[in-house]
Amino acid sequence: MQQKPTAIVIGAGIGGIATAARLAKNGYCVTVLEKNQTPGGRCNQIVQDGHRFDIGPTLFLMPEVWEETFASLGEKLSDYLDLRRIDPTYKVHFDDGLQLELTSNIGDMQIQLEAIEITAFTGFLNYIAEGAKHYKISLEKFVGRNFFSLFDYFSLKNLPLIFKLKALGKHYRNTGRFFKDERLKAAFTFQNMYLGLSPYDAPATYSLLQYTELAEGVWYPLGGMYAGIQALVKVAEKLGVKFIYNMPVKEILAKRNQVTGVVTEDNRVFTAGIFVGNADLPYIYKELLPDPVAAKKLDEKLYTCSTIMFYWGVDKQYPQISHHNVFLAGDYKASFDQIFQDHNLPDEPSFYVHAPARTDPAAAPADQDTLYVLVPVGHLDMASEQDWDERVSRARQTVFERLSKEMGITDLESHIKFEIVYQPKVWKERFNLERGAAFGLSHNFWQVGYLRPQNRHKKYKNLYFAGASTHPGTGLPIVLLSAKLTAERILLGKGTISVQNMVNAVAAATD
Ligand SMILES: Cc1cc2nc3c(=O)[nH]c(=O)nc-3n(C[C@H](O)[C@H](O)[C@H](O)COP(=O)(O)OP(=O)(O)OC[C@H]3O[C@@H](n4cnc5c(N)ncnc54)[C@H](O)[C@@H]3O)c2cc1C
């Protein structure tokens, strides 16, 4: 009897789970080795005293990508997740007291926008139309496909599209073509923070983010974002994937142009035909592979920002806090410069508050609240002095002050039953994220598409990557696409991919 091909996946983040499941579906015998006690990586959860927190992601975006993943595994997403649309998506608070509810209700948007700037509603419609164009071209021609060479990426067909996507323009400056009011420019660019980018550096392509949110919707699965991970693990296990937890890999063994095995902390050696690195790609190059030259090159790349997180179990409910709330800094530009240039906590930080119990009451005990606060901050920087205790305490104080000033919440501090804090060192230690950069490698023009580290190692031909720091990039649905592209590349090599998929992949590659 013919033996099944084998694969080892390093890491049970969403990218690792989805790649493992796709390989298993196509006949592989797959083992996933995960450092931590549970799967999910950055998309994990904390449950304490009846309070349930998502650790990282809180916005369930691009449900069609999730649906495609489940369908490719022979399952239906709706059999696993009860998705609720969150609309208005956010309440945005400006430091002068103005509030704006971003919503897909066009009438409500018109009233709010015209009260700020008479031409803003027309600007908004044009902005979203541009975002729609960017979204469709990006997904079809750049994000949802593999690139096999630089010529393939900068092909005669692609070059005009790069200009069409305004990939060389800056997002914030481009927004000025649609809005004059600085607050509106801020309201339609802060979403770059999901990619860990400054809107002053991010390509103007990323107006696609606002289109995605308002047109495709921001969703939330009952049970929290972690329900998505639990569902994927269930499907993967059903397909035969074996997960081994508390099993950190400490070395990748290689001979000539092949990886031969991985060694775990307890000195066990696991061998297979194919290896997939889902742990943060720069960490794999630096810490696991015998490849100092490539590791050095990755040191010179740009990294996304990090975050200070507060997870607060609160013994009272604050109904004035919506499901998603964004508080923008008065000096918007300085707040980004201090994060991305000085790697610091800005003097006036922007921040985001998540109150999942508004949609999913099971996230907190009755009449109590579960609050998650995300404060963007610079990543770890060995070259400068970074006092994280001081930054955490200043971030906490800013949150209390703005909630008090803008929402009349003056007693929050005394109602916090417990607090859990994450800061860059925790991101690094817990998930091996290089520099504690919460979103991985940055996504500027020089670090996307074929210019981003690719999903197959150049020398070790049986080593692949799936995750936020490889192509196409960060964010749960984008990492699901990364898993798809990586699995397709492996399966094409093995000849085990379905004929239709092969035709599609080859068509995409030569398009
Ligand atoms: C604060 C925050 C908010 C976010 N918000 C959103 C959002 O709202 N919506 C959205 O779509 N995305 C969001 N993201 C981004 C999203 O979480 C990530 O892009 C995605 O989870 C990355 O998945 P991954 O599989 O690439 O990596 P990871 O989640 O990092 O998984 C990698 C896994 O590898 C394991 N590992 C590491 N080293 C080893 C080793 N040596 N041996 C074995 N295992 C190892 C890790 O423990 C981890 O489980 C957010 C991220 C953060 C941090």
Q: In the 3-class helix/strand/coil scheme, how is 115-135 assigned residue by residue?
A: HHCCCHHHHHHHHHHHHHHHH
Nearest in space to 208 (alpha carbons), one of 167, 160, 154, 157: 167
Q: For 113-159, what is each residue's pLDDT tens digit?
A: 999 999 999 999 999 999 999 999 888 887 777 887 777 777 777 77
Contact 221, 82 (CB under 8 A): yes
pLDDT of amino acid 496? 53
pLDDT of amino acid 120? 96
DSSP string, 349-385: --EEEE-GGGT-GGGS-TT-EEEEEEEEE----TTS-
Q: Find the 81 Cα to ligand 1 centroid distance in Å.
A: 20
Tokens 């090159």 belong to residue: 297
Q: Is the CB of 41 under 6 A from ligand 1?
A: yes
Q: Find the 435 Cα to ligand 1 centroid distance in Å.
A: 14
The number of CA neighbours under 13 Å toward the Cβ of 116 is 25
Q: For 191-209, what is each residue's pLDDT tens digit?
A: 888 788 899 988 888 888 8
pLDDT of amino acid 290? 82
Q: Find the 42 Cα to ligand 1 centroid distance in Å.
A: 3
Mutate to test the pocket of ligand 1, among 42, 339, 485 (most ligand atoms within 8 A of CB): 42
| Cα-to-chain-centroid distance, residue 60 | 10
The number of CA neighbours under 13 Å toward the Cβ of 71 is 6
Judged against a pLDDT cut of 70, whether residue 101 lies above it is answered with: yes
Average the pLDDT over 279-296 and give the result.
Answer: 93
pLDDT of amino acid 8? 98
Structure confidence at residue 501 as a pLDDT band (50, 70, 90): low
List all residues 6 or more positions away from 129 whose beta carbon is below 8 Å from its beta carbon. Answer: none
Q: Find the 278 Cα to ligand 1 centroid distance in Å.
A: 9
Nearest CA to ligand 1 atom 26: 467
Q: Is the CB of 437 under 6 A from ligand 1?
A: no
Structure confidence at residue 499 as a pLDDT band (50, 70, 90): very low
Distance CA 90, CA 322 (A): 8
pLDDT of amino acid 506? 43
DSSP conformation class of 295: H
Nearest CA to ligand 1 atom 29: 41
Q: Is the CB of 56 under 6 A from ligand 1?
A: yes
Structure tokens at 420: 């859990």
Judged against a pLDDT cut of 60, whether residue 505 lies above it is answered with: no
The number of CA neighbours under 13 Å toward the Cβ of 36 is 18
List all residues 6 or more positions away from 378 whose beta carbon is below 8 Å from its beta carbon. Answer: 305, 306, 338, 339, 340, 342, 343, 344, 345, 386
Q: Is the CB of 139 under 6 A from ligand 1?
A: no
The beta-carbon contacts of 211-214 under 8 Å, at least 24 apart in sequence, are 211/128, 211/131, 211/132, 211/134, 211/135, 212/61, 212/62, 212/131, 212/135, 213/59, 213/61, 213/89, 213/102, 214/89, 214/102, 214/103, 214/104, 214/128
Distance CA 351, CA 402 (A): 10
Q: Is the CB of 42 under 6 A from ligand 1?
A: yes
- Lowest mean pLDDT of 103-107, 145-149, 419-423, 504-508, name the range: 504-508
Q: Which atom of ligand 1 is nearest to the CA of 55?
A: 1
Q: For 294-345, what is each residue's pLDDT tens digit?
A: 889 999 999 999 999 999 999 999 999 999 999 999 999 999 999 999 999 9
Q: Find the 427 Cα to ligand 1 centroid distance in Å.
A: 10
Work out whether strand 369-377 and strand 306-314 pair parallel, antiparallel, or are unpaired.
Answer: antiparallel
Q: Which atom of ligand 1 is nearest to the CA of 13?
A: 31
Q: How many residues does the chain have?
A: 511
| Cα-to-chain-centroid distance, residue 481 | 12
Structure tokens at 378: 């610079």
Structure tokens at 273: 């035909």
The number of CA neighbours under 13 Å toward the Cβ of 15 is 30
